[in-house]
Structure 1
């Protein structure tokens, strides 16, 4: 369970054949049901990011910490890493990218989705708020999905980052298979997360790990834990 919780291997996920992404089997079943109904409505849901392991998330994190990948403020504007304190860098990264060990993508229950029917094959997906806004290229699909969720036909899926709670920026494209994700979230604690971060080998470490560990309680509450109110009610009936 420890390896699954922190994305240390991929033994708990299977291949979604259309996208080539890895997903938790139950999340894949839910997505397949969603895709079936969406196709009838003229959409073509496609997973563009499923399971991401600890190492992949560490690479993303370290590149942002070093300035090799853009670091953005809460409004999506570029920041100058050289002008920020270590703590400011950590919280800027967390606004848009998960902490390695604290990513829901580690579980395979969570995935990012687009409507492939809305764009040409060579379209470069950005996963930006503009793309998924009601008037964006993927807006019609997300409006359709919102309506189904509101009507109680959610396939067990929900949007963990549907609104801005002062932590992770809203991600309309991010879906989560609620029953299994809730179970896994309940196993994760700030102490376990700190231990995993501290276990990174010295030669292959996590950038700003000391700053992360010093702020782990705040980070966990703001950027890792999804509140009970965000989960669908009566998970056993999904």
Structure 2
């Protein structure tokens, strides 16, 4: 396992020089990339075509998503996958609604090159439009088999589901895989001050309130995860 620490710029998505690009397009740290290829091979043996919908995401890209959700041009969903009218919310209520499914720029685990949002290409019916919502991974959903398979086998390649269930911060994301050895090291290395400095360098929507509430955001939406199974 690599023990090399990331820089503050890499931890916050402002530098991707620690990543490699796979032929299939994923940007990951080398060790996570090898583990991902191993997991895909394991899945293929069981008839699952594991595909990454998303891997690395830069600060800039996360800030675009954040801006779009703040101004209402991108849907904001509650835990029941119902669209909210974000224009009717303000202050902390607005931030909480957005943070349920979208990380604050600088805090996304996708900045690290250890995370993947996944689906089963083989399970997609013809013409199906992927939504990436929990109901697709629950019993009766198009990816229910994948979700059950990940629960049993993800750890065989070193992965776990940090948002397996809602724990008071980020909503359940049964599609989100994290390469545990490297992700754990990144989480320990990321600090509140590192995030604050990134935001001061690159201001985002709702900047003033975000900086005021940053300690709570960091605790609830960064540090609160579902621990890997023993």
- Tell me, in whole angstroms, the C-alpha distance in 2 between the residues paired with 1:226 and 1:25: 26
Tell me if structure 2 keeps the 8 A contact 1:57–1:99: yes
* Pairwise CA distance, 1:128: 0.6
Are positions 1:7 and 2:7 aligned together? Answer: no
2:185 matched to which residue of 1? 183
- Tell me, in whole angstroms, the C-alpha distance in 2 between the residues paired with 1:122 and 1:174: 23
1:119 matched to which residue of 2? 124
**After TM superposition, which residue ranges in structure 1, 4 or more long, deviate above 3 angstroms?**
120-123
Tell me if structure 1 keeps the 8 A contact 2:167–2:224: no
CA distances 1:111-136 after superposition (whole Å, capped 9, x unpaired): 10111111157543211111111321
CA distances 1:128-152 after superposition (whole Å, capped 9, x unpaired): 1111113211111221221225xxx
Tell me if structure 1 keeps the 8 A contact 2:81–2:133: no
2:40 matched to which residue of 1? 35
CA distances 1:145-191 after superposition (whole Å, capped 9, x unpaired): 21225xxx531100000111111000010000011111111111222
Tell me if structure 2 keeps the 8 A contact 1:62–1:207: yes
Residues 10-25 of structure 1: pairs in structure 2 closer than 5 A: 10-18=16-24, 20-25=25-30
- Tell me, in whole angstroms, the C-alpha distance in 2 between the residues paired with 1:186 and 1:211: 25
CA distances 1:88-123 after superposition (whole Å, capped 9, x unpaired): 111111001011000000001011011111115754
- Tell me, in whole angstroms, the C-alpha distance in 2 between the residues paired with 1:195 and 1:26: 28
1:222 matched to which residue of 2? 220
Tell me if structure 2 keeps the 8 A contact 1:21–1:48: no
* Pairwise CA distance, 1:26: 1.4
Of 142, 145, 148, which residue of structure 1 is paired with 2:147?
142
* Pairwise CA distance, 1:82: 2.3
Tell me if structure 1 keeps the 8 A contact 2:169–2:224: no
2:204 matched to which residue of 1? 206
Residues 84-123 of structure 1: pairs in structure 2 closer than 5 A: 84-120=89-125, 123=128
1:160 matched to which residue of 2? 162
1:170 matched to which residue of 2? 172
* Pairwise CA distance, 1:16: 2.4
1:236 matched to which residue of 2? none
Tell me if structure 2 keeps the 8 A contact 1:111–1:176: yes
Q: CA RMSD in A?
A: 1.6
Structure 1: gaps (5+ residues): 234-238
Q: 1:122 to 1:24 in 2, by over 3 A?
A: farther
- Tell me, in whole angstroms, the C-alpha distance in 1 between the residues paired with 2:144 and 2:117: 14
Deviates most, 39-48 or 135-144: 135-144
- Tell me, in whole angstroms, the C-alpha distance in 2 between the residues paired with 1:125 and 1:81: 23
Structure 2: gaps (5+ residues): 1-6
